Structure 1
Amino acid sequence: MTLHVVVEADGGSRGNPGPAGFGAVVKEAATGQVLLERYDSAGITTNNVAEYSGLIAGLRAAAELNATRVDVRMDSKLVIEQMSGRWQIKNAGLRPLAAEAATLVGKFERVTFDWIPRERNKEADALANRAMDEAAGKAPRDRIEREVVTPAAEAPKSWAPPALENATRIALVRHGATPFTAQGRYSGRGDVPLTDEGEAQAMAAAGRVAGIFRDVDAVLSSPLTRCVRTAELIAAEAGGVPVTVMDDLIECDFGDWEGKTFAEVQERWPGEMSAWLASTSVAPPGGESFQAVAKRVRAAMATVLHSYPGKAVVIVSHVSPIKLILRDALAAGDAFLHRLFLDAAGVSTMDVWPDGNIAVRTVNETAHLR
């Protein structure tokens, strides 16, 4: 079964640069029925960045619906012409966004880009303005998306991945164990170190990575000590490759739940816990939602693919970022996040091609830990 959708997207900035927002509407092409809506603040940025953010949000929503064909319609001449390959991307700040959009385009059998006048893009424009109003406190914040109102189509059939010569090969490694790991405590921004067991696990993971990649071109890490130390051991095994810290690879901020067990949180914050488990838009008290984590992790992945095309890259991070990367790579839904378990020092691998094709080869390898 195939699903043909139309993505209408827009973004705007009040000040250029200034407070910005974006919106996207996904409709069934045959009927015009709205299937999903997305909108959010883009922070302080330019119109063009906000417009690209709207495009990315719309393509991601279409991927979640398992769409096979997408017709993108925007009133941004710049985005349409650049994504169609007719205009060069001269602004360096837009290149990672265009690369992320191109990666998403590769998930579909066919994507077209068409410019439309602003009066025909009113729905997406209204969502972008709503995001800016809510961020400024001028409108109540109620929801980020409208749920699917018709059953999603079946996923398109897979195909054999191309040869590896021009693929970016990525190993995703969770850090080794810390004192919180065995105790089952939420470990977010707290900078807990590896235990002796964690050090041994990290060294074992280093050996496994060396067995996967003949040569490692880059080792990237969350800024927290437990990841940096794991990355250092992997880099040493790879011949002394320098470790590069990427702040966007940091773990989710669990706020008031930091250092507490699931049972402790369930007892003290039962309502907040239920809401958090039910929606990726909900954050723990004083913390960060998975949607917010996903946004920065996608930016990090776009930077990786832009900076290391055709290279072998090791990313050392935490449970939440790695789960979100794998969710996106597999075009899975949010339920995936609660059904996947990642062991300390577990290794997952994936390949990404310039046309956006992705092959997830392994998930949570642990044989090296036994």
Structure 2
Amino acid sequence: MSVARQVVVEADGGSRGNPGPAGYGAVVIDPATGEPLAEAAEYIGVATNNVAEYRGLIAGLTAAKALFPDAGDALRVHVRMDSKLVVEQMSGRWKIKHPDMKPLAARAAAILPPSSVTYEWIPRAQNKHADRLANEAMDAGRDGRTWEASASTAALDTPSARTASAPPPVQGPPGDQAAGAARARAALAAARGAAAPEGLFPMPGAQEPEPPVEAAPVTGAAAPAAEPSAAPGAEPSEAPVASAPEPSTARVAPAPEPSATPVASAPEPTATPQTGWGSAPDLGAPATLVLLRHGETALTPQKRFSGSGGTDPELSPTGRDQAERAAAHFAALGTVQEIVSSPLRRCRETAAAVAARLGLDVHVDEGLRETDFGAWEGLTFGEVRERHGDDLTAWLASPDAAPTGGGESFAEVAGRVAAARDRIVARYAGRTVLLVTHVTPIKTLVRLALGAPPEALFRMELSAASISTVAYYGDGNASVRLLNDTSHLR
């Protein structure tokens, strides 16, 4: 008869962008001592937070089973995760609606008999070991490295918190649990070789709007913006942004032996605060607005004011090429689910190029049109200064001042852009939406997301056909993830 065995698995996953560079971490723990028996971590390329969480669970269960290959049905695994989505779905209390989650849940459920596994939701603060492993894996992927257990500091987390809440242990032969770590490593390696390619999971479409899922950690996603040389509506120059690293290979290794000498806890990895961190860990997938500025027109290289009250120019040959490059970029990513455009011709032509590549329809929202620059339409900044100097000075000094000849103030533009944002976020909750629009609407969306003052509009640069990204969460917060990315144009 098999000797009963009991272990705790803690697992976590994260995505710096949701979807974005992602990784998972898992640790198998001795419930009697709280000490780690085996660790697993992997950078999995671009994926969502939910995919990373499930991958962590799969790795943890695989490692636990490999520790006790002869235990059979006598093995008992208590899984502890801070993802309510995974815990509730695997416990059978929530339905699994999203097609990309179903195969992951099936893989996890097939590793051990359902009667052998129990699930518990824990606060993020109690999941530090797995969280640190996931962040180490993402850091390694960012740097083009493979996660190595020898460089990990995750095992320095104090085990006492785990032991206090772990289920009562079932004892086995002395030394048997620690000896199984090599088997765990071999089992995980074999699982990766036998299954479908796992370095990059298929990109999920919309995340489930209910039950709620976790907001994604956002670290290092946005590039700094360059200082502008012209006012909003005029045409700035490019600012290149580096691309993401290629995914690396997973590693699993025995956890380091505990030291007899007390060791101070290592500091937590530094990261940009996650939107929605606090008492409620599950906010639902954000509505992600990908902001694409239209391609060049004949007025763009001349740096002339080109708003909604002028000639409505078409794309130039350069602009059409930029639109095609943007279309190829989004086709390669495969993340855009909806397209909404400004009604102006240059945006509709840019949106049409992307829509043709993605097989999507283009919806038009009047709120995304450029500012009406009144009598300044078609003029350069210098020409406006020469002809309407006092009006220009007032416009630069106050968001309530309108351009000469009945144009729109930035305060008016902010009002209609915010209304358009609210419509789009409500309509496409949890989805990734491409907005093809103009300089001022994009800068306004970024400014509002950051809570920055109106004068911040003059401190951002947006190149033609550049990409910026803002995510909007269920608690009303927003996260700017990217600004003025032109890497797809090179």
Asked whether the two chains share a fold, i.e. TM above 0.5, the reply is: yes
**What is the match of residue 285 of structure 2?**
166
Residue 335 of structure 1: how far off its partner (Å): 2.0
**What is the match of residue 236 of structure 1?**
356
**What is the match of residue 187 of structure 1?**
306
**What is the match of residue 388 of structure 2?**
269
Secondary structure of the residue aligned to 2:321 is helix
2:313 aligned partner, one-letter code: V
CA contact (8 A) 1:171 1:209 kept: no
Which blocks of at least 5 consecutive residues in structure 2 are unaligned? 1-270, 277-281
CA contact (8 A) 1:248 1:296 kept: yes
CA contact (8 A) 1:174 1:317 kept: yes
Secondary structure of the residue aligned to 1:170 is strand
CA contact (8 A) 1:347 1:363 kept: yes
1:201 aligned partner, one-letter code: Q
Partners of 1:205 and 1:264 lie apart in 2 by: 33
Secondary structure of the residue aligned to 1:201 is helix
**What is the match of residue 210 of structure 1?**
331
Partners of 1:209 and 1:280 lie apart in 2 by: 34
Partners of 1:171 and 1:209 lie apart in 2 by: 10
Partners of 1:165 and 1:195 lie apart in 2 by: 41
1:198 aligned partner, one-letter code: G
**What is the match of residue 29 of structure 1?**
none
CA contact (8 A) 1:265 1:273 kept: yes
Deviations 1:33-62 (A, max 9, x none): xxxxxxxxxxxxxxxxxxxxxxxxxxxxxx
TM-score, structure 2 as length reference: 0.42
TM-score, structure 1 as length reference: 0.55
**What is the match of residue 310 of structure 1?**
430
After the TM superposition, which residues 313-324 of structure 1 pair with which residues of structure 2 at under 5 Å, given as runs?
A: 313-324=433-444
The aligned length equals 212
Could you tell me which of 317, 321, 324 is aligned with 1:200? 321
Deviations 1:168-194 (A, max 9, x none): 111001000000001111001231000
After the TM superposition, which residues 1-370 of structure 1 pair with which residues of structure 2 at under 5 Å, given as runs?
A: 159-161=273-275, 166-189=285-308, 190=310, 191-212=312-333, 214-238=334-358, 240-285=359-404, 286-370=406-490
The RMSD of aligned alpha carbons is 1.7
Deviations 1:49-78 (A, max 9, x none): xxxxxxxxxxxxxxxxxxxxxxxxxxxxxx
Flag the 1:257–1:202 CA change in 2: closer, same or farther, 3 A. Answer: same
CA contact (8 A) 2:290 2:469 kept: yes
Secondary structure of the residue aligned to 1:179 is coil
1:321 aligned partner, one-letter code: P
**What is the match of residue 107 of structure 1?**
none
Residue 305 of structure 1: how far off its partner (Å): 0.9
Residue 333 of structure 1: how far off its partner (Å): 1.2
Partners of 1:302 and 1:260 lie apart in 2 by: 33
Residue 209 of structure 1: how far off its partner (Å): 2.8
Which blocks of at least 5 consecutive residues in structure 1 are unaligned? 1-156
Deviations 1:339-359 (A, max 9, x none): 101000000012111111222
Partners of 1:333 and 1:201 lie apart in 2 by: 31
Deviations 1:266-296 (A, max 9, x none): 1011111111011110000121101000000
Flag the 1:279–1:182 CA change in 2: closer, same or farther, 3 A. Answer: same
Partners of 1:290 and 1:206 lie apart in 2 by: 30
Secondary structure of the residue aligned to 2:299 is helix
Residue 205 of structure 1: how far off its partner (Å): 1.6
**What is the match of residue 60 of structure 1?**
none
Partners of 1:281 and 1:164 lie apart in 2 by: 35
Partners of 1:236 and 1:291 lie apart in 2 by: 35
**What is the match of residue 44 of structure 2?**
none
Identity %: 45
Deviations 1:236-276 (A, max 9, x none): 222x1100010111000000000011111110111111110
Partners of 1:330 and 1:324 lie apart in 2 by: 10
Secondary structure of the residue aligned to 1:181 is coil
CA contact (8 A) 1:216 1:241 kept: no
2:302 aligned partner, one-letter code: Q
CA contact (8 A) 1:178 1:192 kept: yes
2:330 aligned partner, one-letter code: V
Secondary structure of the residue aligned to 1:182 is coil
Deviations 1:182-239 (A, max 9, x none): 1111001231000000001111122233344x3422100000110001011111222x
Partners of 1:160 and 1:242 lie apart in 2 by: 33
Deviations 1:308-327 (A, max 9, x none): 00011000101011100000
